[in-house]
Structure 1
């Protein structure tokens, strides 16, 4: 039912990558439905190309991703089961942020959004802000899950943050994308 990809950069601390992958495997084991994990190729300086390659992997009707420097809580996929079986356009997982050893409530529509494959935008057009544009494309038809289950690390040298700072115009363009409300084609 769900394909999940992780893009692993060469400079992400190995202990973070291990924690990420271990947490994804644990969440898959608890999910109660079919999930395939894919490792997508890293593309230096272009998150969108790597993300597009990740979303193209597999054939399940839903896709999502986990950043290699973040991790999941064990119930992350389990709470997606009913909404995905109901055929929602997207299921959004609330998150915690982890910064300087402190965990706090984070955004509810940021990471770990399971999206019906037919709703995926062309990420190759976005160097660093495709995830923002993607959420705009589905937000009117997305549902919010009940429990925070994604831990997003905040640190100054994050590759995505560095790219977004360098391409602030792209972030503004992504935020300005119209929200779509449509019936998704089966994908």
Structure 2
């Protein structure tokens, strides 16, 4: 009877260890490479579907497939690099891919409607690029403000330490440096 309980406990421990191992965060490079691979596979499948169509609908289908691939690849690369400039660059490239798609969409239209369509596509591109730049500046400003606040709080903590002397003051200063990573 005792051996069956031991086997159950060992089995439960192994199951728990495997579930804990499965919850470990995946390697960012692996996730990035998988996303690129998935984007390429999806693009090839979409291209095969598009090859069954002729004329402008084929061009539009291909443009849609390129936009989908660019979006997945750029978002994956930005997440892999995890920097503000990478995210901004990804948004710019996605906006450019959307603009290329919109130009293809406008090619099916003639006359003034085509001119209006192209101007709308250009306006959408400019708006997306402006939003990406504005978001970057906003995030940078918030980061600068946060750093300024921490510096001010650090100066206050150091000033409070001036009330002490000797080893107590030294401990206070070291605690402030540790707290504010100085």
Q: Which structure dedicates a bigger proportion of its chain to helix?
A: 2
Q: Which has the higher contact order (CA 8 A, sep 6+)?
A: 1
User: Which structure has the bigger radius of gyration?
Assistant: 2
User: TM-score, with normalisation over the residues of structure 2?
Assistant: 0.26
